[in-house]
Amino acid sequence: MNYSDILIDHFKNPRNQGEIKDASGVGDVGNPICGDMMKIYIKVEKDKNGDDIIKDVKFQTLGCAAAIASTSMLTEMVKGIKVDDALKITREQVAEKLGGLPKEKIHCSILANEGLKKAIAQYRGEKMEKNTEEKEAEGAHC
Ligand code: FES
């Protein structure tokens, strides 16, 4: 399997790994097929314009190299930006920043984006319906 140097670096030295005790929202996602699990914590604060900003983000995972690297990269991309802008980041953009993902590992990056979406939904008090990507993850063979 060909992993880029960037991906290997994020796998070996994951950024923002850990837990936020007083998180504003926590997103828990899992893939029942491979058993990989992801938990993303966000700390949200309002800026002077009243916009919600992701002040801090951390993750814990029992996951594969691609899942760890994708989440590490996503946390770097969303830290310090508006919640609305964080929601616009796609898993394709995360994969691109990682220098690409092998085709058979593309589904692994779902955990990062879905975990973040769930954490934001919890912060906003929204109920999340399972979306297509999540159903896709559940059906994926790892
Ligand atoms: S998410 Fe299942 S192997 Fe990567």
Contact at 8 Å (CB) between 70 and 98? yes
Substitution site in 1, 10, 29, 31 for ligand 1 pocket (most atoms within 8 Å of beta carbon): 31
The DSSP 8-state label assigned to residue 90 in this structure reads -
Compute the distance from residue 46 Cα to the ligand 1 centre, in Å. Answer: 34
Q: What is the pTM of this model?
A: 0.88
Q: What percent of the chain has pLDDT over 90?
A: 74
> Which CATH number describes the domain made up of 5-124?
3.90.1010.10
Q: pLDDT (tens digit, 9 = 90+) per residue, 15-70?
A: 999 999 999 999 999 976 678 899 999 999 999 999 999 999 999 998 899 999 99
The upper half-sphere exposure of residue 98, i.e. CA atoms within 13 Å in the direction of its Cβ, equals 33
Question: What pLDDT does 50 receive?
Answer: 95
Token pair of 120 as six digits: 């934001």
Question: What pLDDT does 128 receive?
Answer: 65
Pairwise CA distance, residues 95 & 39, whole Å? 19
| Ligand 1 atom closest to 140 (CA) | 2
CA torsion 45-48-51-53 (nearest 10°) is -40
- The SS3 assignment for 11 reads helix
Compute the distance from residue 119 Cα to the ligand 1 centre, in Å. Answer: 20
Query: What residues does each domain of the chain span?
Result: 5-124
Pairwise CA distance, residues 136 & 125, whole Å? 25
Contact at 8 Å (CB) between 31 and 138? yes
The DSSP 8-state label assigned to residue 4 in this structure reads -
Token pair of 46 as six digits: 């309002």
